Amino acid sequence: MSYRISVDSAVCMSSGKCVADAPDVFRFDDDEIAEIVPGATQPADERILDLARACPAGALVVTDVDSGEEIDVD
């Protein structure tokens, strides 16, 4: 199984947790909303789950690459 992480910009509250925890993966856009750093390597699956669980807004979306289904991280 392989996961991919993305940001739901409509849910992001700009807390900066993801940017602080994984600056090689996340950054702020011009509107101070988190986004994936272009060309960033996706973290390992466990790291993806940890990052998503740590987001106070629940804006980090984890998707199973094989099935395309969203993973519930709660």
Q: Please report the pLDDT score of residue 74 as a whole number.
A: 82
Whether the model clears a pTM of 0.85, i.e. scores above it, the answer is yes
Contact 55, 17 (CB under 8 A): yes
Q: Please report the pLDDT score of residue 10 as a whole number.
A: 97
Q: Which fold has domain 3-71?
A: Alpha-Beta Plaits (3.30.70)
- Token match 């996961």: residue? 3
Structural domain boundaries in the chain = 3-71
- DSSP code per residue over 5-67: EEE-TTT-----HHHHH-TTTEEE-TTS-EEEPTTPPPPPHHHHHHHHHH-TT--EEEEETTT
Write the pLDDT tens digit of every residue in 9-65: 999 999 999 999 999 999 999 999 999 999 999 999 999 999 999 999 999 999 999
